[in-house]
Amino acid sequence: MAPPILILRDIHLTFGGTPLLEGAELALSAGERLCLVGRNGSGKSTLLKIAAGLIQPDGGERFLQPGTTLRYLPQEPDLSGFATTLAYVEAGLAPGDDAYRAKYLLEQLGLTGEESPARLSGGEARRAALARALAPEPDILLLDEPTNHLDLPAIEWLEAELKGARSAQILISHDRRFLETLSQATVWLSDGRARRLDKGFAAFESWRDEILEQEEVARHKLDRKIASEMEWLHRGVTARRKRNQGRLRALFELRKQRRTAKAPAGMTAMEASAGELSGQLVVQARKISKSYGDNPIVRDFSTRIQRGDRVGIIGANGAGKTTLLNLLTGQIAPDSGSVKLGVNLQMVTLDQRRDSLDPAATLATTLTGGRGDTVAIGDRKQHVIGYMKEFLFSPEQANTPVGVLSGGERGRLILARALARPSNLLVLDEPTNDLDLETLDLLQEMLADYDGTVLLVSHDRDFLDRVVTSVIVSEGQGRWAEYAGGYSDMVLQRGSGVEAKAIEKPRRAAREETPRAAPAPRRKLSFKEEHALKALPARMEKLQAEIAKLQGLLADPSLYARDRATFDKATAGLHEREAALAEAEHEWLELELKREEIERA
């Protein structure tokens, strides 16, 4: 193996009095692709920042070979101070770098380069940051969750780009397929230490399980030895004789070893609160269509979803996955066709956008709804501290504001809150965002045991393969097709995946040809359009606040039995506002695109 160009040796770091890293080590050679894995909170992102030179550890050594270029992709990039996304990416280039590559990468990631950073969504900002990291073709790439907010075409494009790059890479990701495709070595961060496997991620889980099994056996042996020595100690006077003080000191040392040889922390189970049994028919859609302006989102689509089905909805960003999901669940009405929902449905939606989380509320208040110190889980109640522990929160975090939680912690909080509500229909929109691999395992096991029906939007190919019984995939131009099995089964039946070249090129060509075929764009928006463009953001913000308030009201599991009229009114109001928000968002997007087209003309 080539000599390392980046070395972290005996790294120690303590946060708030609690050791996070205790002698962690890492080495990266030229051209090597290494994945860094571990549960949320184990210090992966922190270790990556130390490798990037952004955090100074309490102890240990960082070595970077002189002359080596390094680029780091953060989870939350800062684009402030730049006029456009292209300016932001170009600012990361060094003299002699290919300036054209900045524009090329932005286009491959679905951006034009003309976007204002102030108006970017979180996903668009991460795409721009990814282009900035890749553009200089550095010697070392440090990428923290690069697939977050990318759709399937972009993920598969990124895999090919990284596989062909000369850069050495350290990757943090919850996407198993992504790690299996790229990694050549694996570093497992646990209990402050880093263990290395000189094989890719595909071999990691069996290797990890062997280590955990060996450690469990060692703990049992230590427990038996301590029990034997304690029995000797309790016999009485012999333990106090001078010639046995060495044995007594050895016992104290054994007990010290046992305290430090703790079992690895992790969630051991995840369970959804079961609702009443739904009817056999859950959703029946007949020739439904939905368009926004001249843009068809769904065209003549039919499906029948029955109790126990687990249906995945996949496609490129902008294909209309969330719109289709809202049509199938009755959140919005189709322009034509019909949707029939089954009887006795109890639907719970996993809001991975986290819009309904109040950043000022505490973790305990979010779980209890501010009503006492217990969480209602179906027909039983559990103290909030115990329920928090099941999702890897410490008792000390009970009064922690939601706004300071990490992305992974907010993801677990969303799960904890959603799974406490009785349901027979789970609607999951990107549930894997920010979840670690162990939590994903438990979520997959829970869904496998779930008695109800699951509708799932996801870009995680491995998660889809493990969970769904069929997939509905965008075929472009508002057409959708259903295939039996998971993502890999769909690829075999369809002959291709949701690939960037197959889907994006026609859309790009259409955008290029349209200006030549269409008449010259209008010089300015009409007064009515100008007014709508200014007023819509405030309206959307108001609707989001009203939705959050209604969702908070409906989160009360006793509301239905206690006040049926209020429950029905809140449910109807929620559906009405969600439909209004979807309409407002699409109207604003159309007007914004029109404004940009006029400005470019």
Tokens representing 82 are 């730049």
Q: In the prediction, which pLDDT does 265 show?
A: 52
Please compute Rg for the chain using Cα positions.
27
Q: In the prediction, which pLDDT does 355 show?
A: 57
Q: In whole angstroms, what is the distance from residue 509 CA to residue 494 CA?
A: 23
Which residue type, as a one-letter code, is found at position 6? Answer: L
Q: In the prediction, which pLDDT does 158 show?
A: 94
Q: By the 8 A CB rule, do 151 and 120 touch?
A: no
Q: In whole angstroms, what is the distance from residue 261 CA to residue 223 CA?
A: 11
Q: Is the dihedral of CA 399, 402, 403, 409 positive or negative?
A: positive
Q: By the 8 A CB rule, do 29 and 2 touch?
A: yes
Least confident of 74-78, 119-123, 294-298, 474-478: 119-123
The predicted-structure confidence for 409-465, as pLDDT tens digits, reads as follows 777 888 888 777 888 899 988 888 777 787 788 788 888 888 889 999 988 999 999
Q: In the prediction, which pLDDT does 416 show?
A: 82
* Band of residue 601 on the pLDDT scale cut at 50, 70, 90: low
**Quick one: average pLDDT of 363-384?**
82
The predicted-structure confidence for 52-71, as pLDDT tens digits, reads as follows 999 999 999 999 999 999 99
Give 474's contacts (C-beta < 8 A, 6+ positions apart).
Answer: 314, 315, 316, 319, 320, 321, 480, 498, 503
Give 177's contacts (C-beta < 8 A, 6+ positions apart).
Answer: 460, 461, 462
Q: In the prediction, which pLDDT does 204 show?
A: 92
Nearest to 90 by CA among 143, 137, 136, 154: 136
**Which amino acids are annotated as binding site for ATP, given as ranges?**
38-45, 315-322
Q: By the 8 A CB rule, do 50 and 20 touch?
A: no
Give the H/E segment covering residue 476. strand 470-476
Q: Would the pTM count as exceeding 0.75?
A: no
4-205: CATH architecture: 3-Layer(aba) Sandwich (3.40)
Helices (H), 5-91: 44-52, 85-90
Q: In the prediction, which pLDDT does 89 show?
A: 95
Nearest to 478 by CA among 288, 351, 202, 347: 288
Q: By the 8 A CB rule, do 154 and 501 touch?
A: no
Q: In the prediction, which pLDDT does 587 show?
A: 78
Tokens representing 239 are 């333990």
**Quick one: average pLDDT of 237-252?**
52
Burial (CB count within 10 angstroms: exposed 0-12, middle 13-18, buried 19+), residue 436: buried
Q: In whole angstroms, what is the distance from residue 441 CA to residue 435 CA?
A: 10
SS3 7: strand
Least confident of 41-55, 215-229, 252-266: 252-266
Write down the residue that tokens 């100008």 correspond to: 530
Q: By the 8 A CB rule, do 268 and 314 touch?
A: no
Cα dihedral 575, 577, 582, 586 in deg (nearest 10):
150
Q: In the prediction, which pLDDT does 86 show?
A: 95
Least confident of 180-184, 217-221, 577-581: 217-221
- Predicted confidence (pLDDT) at residue 263 exceeds the cutoff of 70: no
Tokens representing 427 are 């609607």
Which letter does DSSP use for residue 277 in this model?
P
- Predicted confidence (pLDDT) at residue 582 exceeds the cutoff of 70: yes
Strand duo 281-292 + 336-341: pairing: antiparallel
Nearest to 34 by CA among 224, 170, 142, 188: 170
Quote helix, strand, coil % in the chain, to nearest 5: 45, 20, 30
Domain residue limits, the chain:
4-205, 283-346+425-445+453-518, 520-601
SS3 75: coil
Q: In the prediction, which pLDDT does 588 show?
A: 74
Q: Between vectors from CA 588 to CA 584 and to CA 593, what angle results, nearest 5°?
A: 150
> Percent of the chain at pLDDT above 90?
36
* Band of residue 178 on the pLDDT scale cut at 50, 70, 90: very high
1 vs 373, higher pLDDT:
373
Give 406's contacts (C-beta < 8 A, 6+ positions apart).
Answer: 40, 41, 434
SS3 377: strand
Q: Is the dihedral of CA 585, 590, 593, 595 positive or negative?
A: negative
Tokens representing 106 are 């932005």
Q: In the prediction, which pLDDT does 33 show?
A: 96
SS3 281: strand
Q: In the prediction, which pLDDT does 22 show?
A: 92
422 vs 355, higher pLDDT:
422
The predicted-structure confidence for 507-536, as pLDDT tens digits, reads as follows 333 333 334 444 444 456 777 777 777 888
**CA–centroid distance for 451 within its chain:** 24
- Predicted confidence (pLDDT) at residue 375 exceeds the cutoff of 50: yes
Q: In whole angstroms, what is the distance from residue 383 CA to residue 401 CA?
A: 19
Phi, psi at residue 23, to the nearest 5°? 80, 25
SS3 347: strand
Least confident of 202-206, 475-479, 539-543: 539-543
The predicted-structure confidence for 392-403, as pLDDT tens digits, reads as follows 788 888 888 888
Q: By the 8 A CB rule, do 280 and 344 touch?
A: no
CATH of domain 520-601: 1.10.287.380
Tokens representing 341 are 């929902």
CATH of domain 283-346+425-445+453-518: 3.40.50.300
**Which amino acids are annotated as binding site, given as ranges?**
38-45, 315-322
**Quick one: average pLDDT of 325-343?**
92
Crossing angle for the helix pair 564-600 and 321-328, to the nearest 10 degrees = 150
**Quick one: average pLDDT of 534-539?**
83
Answer yes or no: same fold for 4-205 and 520-601.
Answer: no
Q: Between vectors from CA 386 to CA 383 and to CA 389, what angle results, nearest 5°?
A: 150
Q: In the prediction, which pLDDT does 449 show?
A: 80
